[in-house]
Structure 1
Amino acid sequence: MEEIIERTRNMDFHHPFTPYDVQQQFMHTVYNVLEQGNGQVGILESPTGTGKSLSLICAALTWLRNHKKHAYEISVDTAASSFKNEPDWVVEQLLKRKRAEIVDLWEERESNLRKIRAKEAMMEERENKRRRHGERNFGREAKDDDEDDEEEQWLLDEQDDRDAPRFSDVDKEEIGDRNEGDQAKIYYTSRTHSQLTQFVSELRRPAFPPSVPDEFLKSHEDHEAEAVKHVPLSSRQRLCINPSVARLGSLSAINDRCSELQQPKSKDRCQFVPNANNLGPTHQFRDNVLATLPDIEDLHSLGKTFQVCPYYASRTAIPGAEVITLPYPLLLQKSARDALGIKLEGNIVIIDEAHNIMDAIANVYASEICLGDLIRARLLLEVYVKRFGKKLKGENRVMVGQVARVIDGLRTWMENALNIKADQGIVDPNALLKHKGIDQINLFKLIDYIQGSKLAYKIEGYAAHIESQGDAKPARPFSSTPVLHTLLSFLVSLSNLSSEGRIFYHKVGEKDHQDIKLSYLLLSPTHVFSSIALKARAVILAGGTMSPFEDYTAHLFPNLASIKITTLSCGHVIPAANLCVWTLSSRLPKSAVNRVEFEFSYQKRSNKTIIHELGLAILNICTVVPDGVVVFFPSYGYLEEVVGIWNETDSTQPTSIWDKLQNKKAVFSEVKGSSSDDLLEQYSKAILGDDALAVPTNPPTRARGALLLSVVGGKMSEGINFSDRLGRCVVIVGLPYPNINSPDWKARIEYIESTTLKRLTECETPRPHNEAIAAAKQAARDFYENACMRAVNQSIGRAIRHRNDYAAIVLVDRRFGTERIRGKLPGWIQGGLIKDSENGGLGQMMSKLSGFFRDKQQGS
């Protein structure tokens, strides 16, 4: 490790700007983890605004190009060893020829890609000229074939037809380029489509030296920088260009219909799927992808241009790619990786926004179904069997009957469960499966049949067809509630039940119209993530707020040796003087006699005195903080409760706290389920001016900026940018612990305790039983507390967004003053904490804030 660090000490990472010290530190750490390989894991925290994505790109691509150079050098050295008995001059000539072959192949490939880029640029300029002259551009669109009105299209295929090969089984080997398939690649994944698009835009900034060793290129002095080769992967829902399929709307319906249109006997075979008949357009598509650094929208456009399916054709570009971007589900599900041909062995996996990774794994494997879904599914099945029952033969007849039994059995349990007094709880899977003999059905075989026969698509498609005929309107795209696909997802979860998963019931709706929902929750991400970490050369988990780190090591890869894990918490790029962090434990200092402490625990937070004191504290903050103040509460329910009390008046307090706040700033409050975009626009315009819409319904006459009341874990707490004037102060009210009495959290706590206890008592050096029990309980408490602190840290991170930004952060709760909680804040926040602020009061804080903002305003 020391050797690697020394070798990279003065390395040029080809950053397009002059990197800050924290960026240099971040890039060196990433490079060192990748260079060590052998299953190394890096858990890296770099605050938002520090250029994390660009630093990841520069470190990873620099490593990749160096790795490729080294591979070329090894290939030449290997060739040299086979000529060891030849004279030196013969060996030198052979090696010279070998180097020239490598360079010629590289030059030919790069030259072809340069020509494609030049052609793309010329076409783009031509298009811009057309637009400037007001000309219309008629692109080539695939024609929407008339929909087949014959009901026979909904009839289930026989077994022989379902076993016919499709593109993914045969043609991809013929049309793919396998020459570069063994070269190392970087798989980059993030949570949202917009984050992936932003990453691609960052990927276009830097330029990297060629992947061929410099000494090989001595005779090619005029060589250019080698462009990065990038392939974005996504779902059919985003990439399908067949209008008759894309308009179906639901992902499951699109997947089923796409698969169906690849059957050899299908009379409407999709003309866009790559095969031996459209090799030319497929290769053009592949080469354009590798030449142009596309995002998903570009990929979709290229598919339309070459009239070839971008979902399938993008796979042909994977062998030649250096960077492959994809959303979480495509990486986290083994079935998705296999379908896309993703090989992790020897490759790099970078997971950005990785504070979401454990929740993302749970969401990918989660499923749920309501009683109302089952009732609708049974109705659809009856309609289908009434029309096609006599035509169903053999396996089709048996399996359709089994689907009906499963629906009836689950429905019986759920109808009985409506009489249970508790509104939510854990479900015994054996009790769930005992009705209607479901436990006698081979669920694995049934699931395989439903998937292979496209039963869900056929039944729901026929129902939509019948409904459209009855309405005398054009056929609807597809059922807005694909209940049979929902049932299939739940059956998959049911068949995979293990110690890592639980099923819960939850009553929803009003008493008179009550429904009940079954949901599957994966309690542990360990098995899912281990399958990735054990195969990849190295894994980087990166995020703006990864603290606290313990959960990742304890629950993603608990059996990985500590020597294989590297952690880093970067400081911020802002100067220390641009951050002021204060822990407000009480409105009065510690020495005061009648001191009321702020503690917003579930037992104490409804105390009106505490809520009143909180209102006065925020009112004072609004007096000295210019522009925008954002306050985060533990929950929507508590926010409503607080606002209600702030609106109260009495004889001693004729003017409410709410009115006083509105006289200081324009006040906005987040409402559960409402649009975050509209609220953010109103809030922004109240601060930045410029539009009449900025004024709230009852505008304050003396408002200075705006106050936004929001919720930790709400829409405003993640992904929203409160930079500069929008977030001069962020206030965190209390610690937003999850409801530990909810069935899912009870199950999580129980699972962590039992698995930790098992690990500590069954290892090579087992702990004493009592000590192991105490450690297991502490592990569960840490996981529970860390979930709370990750949410807090995400909210805190909304404020400082770039080097010249500045803000104050106020943590309102005495518990923020404890060493345990303070230690779980990000390093850069800990560095900005005012020493002993938890012992001061509102007066001392006001003095500090006044001086902080006065200095900033004078400095500007």
Structure 2
Amino acid sequence: AKRLQQNKDSEIEAIESWRQAVHRRKIVYCSRTHSQLQQVAKEMQTCIKAHPPASKVRKLKIVSLASRKELCCNTSVQSESLQAMNEACADLSDRKAAGKPGCPFQSSHKIEYESLKFQLAEAENIMDIEELNNAGRKNALCPYYLSRQTAVDADVLLMPYQSVISKSTRDSLGIDLNDSVIIFDEGHNILDAFLDIGTQELAYKDVRTFCLLLDMYIRRFERRLKATSFLAVKKLQKCAKFIMQWMDEKSESGKCNIVASAETFAFETKLDNMNMNEVVEFAKRTRIAQKLRGMARKISQEKERDEAKLKSTDQTINNSVKNPFHAFIGFIGAMVEVSSGYKLLFTESNGEGCLRLVRASVGDAFASLLDDAKSVIISGGTLTPVNDLKVRLLPKNIADTSTLFIQCPHVIDDAGFLCLAVPSGPTGMQLNFKYKNRSVQLQQECGRAILNFSRLIPDGIVVFFPSFKYLETCLSQWKESDVMSAMEVKKAIFIESSPSLQFPPSLKRYQSKSVGDLIAKYTLAITSKRGAILFAVAGAKLSEGVNFRDGLARGVIVVGLPFPS
């Protein structure tokens, strides 16, 4: 058995050395959501079947990369929180490394074998999220680690924005963008994506909880910690107390809604006198956040003398919106990496202070991608005005000759496309959807207008509302009158579900548990020649990344016009 293990290890080493010797230029295709990437994978499959390559041409290898949330198939690890899943997976890996029972899907040799099969396959191979999950369940191996392993040999990587934009995420996935071609689809989202990913938030209650648990940790394990570890934990504690003291001073002085540079904040909190790189490195290497979380859970279960104090501690942890330990470690980690393009905001609401480290400009972050990549392509249907995008996104040292703008004609000819602004309804009432004008009469007039359009437009109609709340208000009003029943005579009705707003029982029968199920039912109603109306919300899941092709959207109605950002 030992000799067999040695042979397997030598085979794996040979594969790794071969991989390092063969460098391939990758195409990294990014979009906002995994559902959009799933559609890209399906379109690629359609193109490959329609236009098969010549026999001597090397076949494409395409892999989707996603988080454990989408790929983990271990039911004991699956959780609503991605961070909790990451922690549970890391704990199981440690157990397996220590020779104890771990995750049954973590088998390095199985993953290497499947990865090699993927690389040596003679046909095109597309490992999207669905294929990865199927392979994991069929062969009892981890789809998450399989995707990371097969990505090394892939020609095309399908990834969400955040996995490409965030350097720490790229490093954890082992993604090297050197000499690659990066494509950002739905490019109008790229500025917001850079800003969101560059933002770190830290609430006062998270700092307080972190300090409280760190004090308990030091008291419990002081004698068991090595001298170097003890000093590092004390530095971490001092860092947290400096930040909490700064927030206390600002709150007591009434100085809220402060905007400052990251450098000013570091000076005022005395963090510039500490080696923050060492602190962050220690926190990541020792996984101190996971240890504190585990200790907090253990404390909440123990019956100690000071039961009230422990109860209040547990209550503080449970009431935190985010994991306070990871929130704090993430914040100081971001402080280490910040550049001059960052600002720090301090606000106070309901007596609770909050720090936000925000990226004021995206030029520096985008420049790092340009330095690594062979080229970057930003595509989308709503990129204009392009000059505004170039000013906010591109570094100043990029010459105009280095950029190329290509505009393609619409897929629908002008003769087959009609765009109308509808100022008034069937009774002549003005359709002004400003908030102050949203009366019951306006809702009824809107419903009658949509009803008339449903009588004229064949197949599918998609209707976008400005918010779920207003959509629910209008639909409930139409349900009480005869408008909804008149619509159902002409077409089947489907409604997008809200992640937070509960629709009344009378409307729930028009909804589905998932977007995929809703689209499948909507498509079936149209292909059965009955036709359908799909009510959705601008900015929600159905407004981007869903391919309403052919009869699925013979008409699109937008209720009200959103203000430009």
Q: Verify same fold: TM over 0.5.
A: yes
Match of 1:576 in 2: 414
Mapped partners of 2:152, 2:484: distance in 1:
60
Query: Deviation per CA, 1:51-82, whole angstroms, max 9, x where unpaired?
Result: xxxxxxxxxxxxxxxxxxxxxxxxxxxxxxxx
Paired residue for 1:492, among 333, 356, 360? 333
Q: 1:554 and 1:622, CA in 2 relative to 1: closer, same or farther beyond 3 A?
A: same
Q: 1:503 and 1:621, CA in 2 relative to 1: closer, same or farther beyond 3 A?
A: same
Mapped partners of 2:548, 2:73: distance in 1:
38
Q: CA deviation at 1:186?
A: 1.7
Q: CA deviation at 1:344?
A: 2.7
One-letter code aligned to 2:220: R
Query: Deviation per CA, 1:275-313, whole angstroms, max 9, x where unpaired?
Result: 7xx4xx454221233334222343355456666655455
Match of 1:541 in 2: 378
Query: Deviation per CA, 1:456-482, whole angstroms, max 9, x where unpaired?
Result: 1112123224445669xxxxxx98942
SS at match of 1:499: coil
8 Å contact kept, 2:77–2:88: no
Mapped partners of 1:323, 1:535: distance in 2:
17
Structure 1 position 409 matched with structure 2 position 242: yes
Match of 1:518 in 2: 355
- Map residues 599-614 of structure 1 onto 2, 5 A cutoff: 605=434, 608=437
Match of 1:366 in 2: 199
One-letter code aligned to 1:495: V
Q: 1:397 and 1:569, CA in 2 relative to 1: closer, same or farther beyond 3 A?
A: same
Match of 1:736 in 2: 563
Q: CA deviation at 1:413?
A: 3.7
Paired residue for 1:175, among 8, 11, 16? 16
One-letter code aligned to 2:386: F
Mapped partners of 2:80, 2:511: distance in 1:
37
Mapped partners of 2:552, 2:77: distance in 1:
46
Match of 2:185 in 1: 352
Q: CA deviation at 1:398?
A: 1.9
Mapped partners of 1:247, 1:322: distance in 2:
32
SS at match of 1:574: coil
Match of 2:539 in 1: 713
- Map residues 127-142 of structure 1 onto 2, 5 A cutoff: none
Mapped partners of 2:298, 2:512: distance in 1:
47
Identity of aligned pairs, percent? 25
Match of 2:400 in 1: 562
Q: CA deviation at 1:525?
A: 1.9
Q: CA deviation at 1:556?
A: 2.3
SS at match of 2:294: helix
Mapped partners of 2:444, 2:355: distance in 1:
45
Q: 1:340 and 1:507, CA in 2 relative to 1: closer, same or farther beyond 3 A?
A: same
8 Å contact kept, 1:240–1:246: yes
Match of 2:117 in 1: 288
SS at match of 2:339: coil
Q: 1:257 and 1:598, CA in 2 relative to 1: closer, same or farther beyond 3 A?
A: closer
Mapped partners of 2:162, 2:248: distance in 1:
33
8 Å contact kept, 1:665–1:705: no
8 Å contact kept, 1:636–1:672: no
Structure 1 position 386 matched with structure 2 position 219: yes
Match of 1:455 in 2: 288
Match of 1:231 in 2: 63
Mapped partners of 1:671, 1:257: distance in 2:
30
Q: Which moved more, 1:550-559 or 1:182-191?
A: 550-559
- Map residues 318-717 of structure 1 onto 2, 5 A cutoff: 318-418=151-251, 424=257, 426-427=259-260, 429=262, 432-433=265-266, 437-468=270-301, 481-508=322-349, 511=350, 514-558=351-395, 559-584=397-422, 605=434, 608=437, 618=446, 621-622=449-450, 624-626=452-454, 630-633=463-466, 639=470, 673-674=500-501, 682=510, 708=535, 712-715=538-541, 717=543
One-letter code aligned to 1:543: G
Q: CA deviation at 1:625?
A: 1.0
8 Å contact kept, 1:185–1:347: yes
Mapped partners of 1:273, 1:497: distance in 2:
36
Paired residue for 2:31, among 158, 179, 190? 190
The TM-score, its normalising length taken from structure 2, stands at 0.71
Q: CA deviation at 1:450?
A: 0.6
Which of the pair has more CA radius of gyration? 1
Query: Deviation per CA, 1:533-559, whole angstroms, max 9, x where unpaired?
Result: 233222222234333333432222244
Q: CA deviation at 1:631?
A: 4.9
Q: 1:613 and 1:350, CA in 2 relative to 1: closer, same or farther beyond 3 A?
A: same
SS at match of 2:202: strand
Mapped partners of 1:379, 1:247: distance in 2:
26
SS at match of 1:385: helix
8 Å contact kept, 1:526–1:555: yes
- Map residues 269-288 of structure 1 onto 2, 5 A cutoff: 278=109, 281-288=110-117
